[in-house]
Amino acid sequence: MAEECTHDCASCSSNCSSRQAPQYDAPHAKSSIKHVIGVISGKGGVGKSLVTSLLAVALARKGYHVGILDADITGPSIPKAFGLFGGSITGDEGGLVPARTPGGIDVISLNLLLPEEDSPVVWRGPIIAGTVKQFYTDVIWEDIDYLLIDCPPGTGDVPLTVFQSIKLDGVVIVSSPQDLVAMIVSKAAHMADMMHIPVLGLVENMSYVRCPDCGREIKVFGDSHIEKVAKDFGYALLARLPVDPVLSAAVDAGMIEEIENDPLADAAGVLIDKLG
**Mean pLDDT estimate for the chain:** 86
- Would residue 208 count as lying in a domain? yes
pLDDT band at 6 (very low <50, low <70, confident <90, very high): low
**Among residues 171, 164, 195, 186, which one has the least CA distance to residue 271?**
171
The domain in which residue 204 lies consists of 26-271
| pLDDT attached to residue 24 | 92
pLDDT band at 234 (very low <50, low <70, confident <90, very high): very high
| pLDDT attached to residue 185 | 82
- What is the amino acid identity at position 179? D
Cα–Cα distance, 212 to 220 (Å, whole number): 15
Cα–Cα distance, 230 to 68 (Å, whole number): 26
CATH number, position 53: 3.40.50.300
Give the least confident one: 100-109, 111-120, 126-135.
111-120
Cross-strand bridge partners of residue 108 = 69
| pLDDT attached to residue 103 | 96
- The more confident residue out of 203 and 74 is 203
**Among residues 158, 198, 135, which one has the least CA distance to residue 48?**
158
**Among residues 46, 101, 96, 93, which one has the least CA distance to residue 68?**
101
Contacts of 161 (CB under 8 A, 6+ apart): 129, 132, 133
User: What angle (nearest 5°) sits at the alpha carbon of residue 145, between those of residues 139 and 148?
Assistant: 65
- Would residue 9 count as lying in a domain? no
- Would residue 13 count as lying in a domain? no
User: What angle (nearest 5°) sits at the alpha carbon of residue 53, between those of residues 86 and 264?
Assistant: 165
212, 228 contact by CB (below 8 A): no
49, pLDDT greater than 80 = yes
Report the domain count for the chain. Answer: 1
- The more confident residue out of 154 and 54 is 54
2, pLDDT greater than 60 = no
- Would residue 19 count as lying in a domain? no
- Would residue 12 count as lying in a domain? no
Cα–Cα distance, 165 to 51 (Å, whole number): 23
Cα–Cα distance, 52 to 195 (Å, whole number): 21
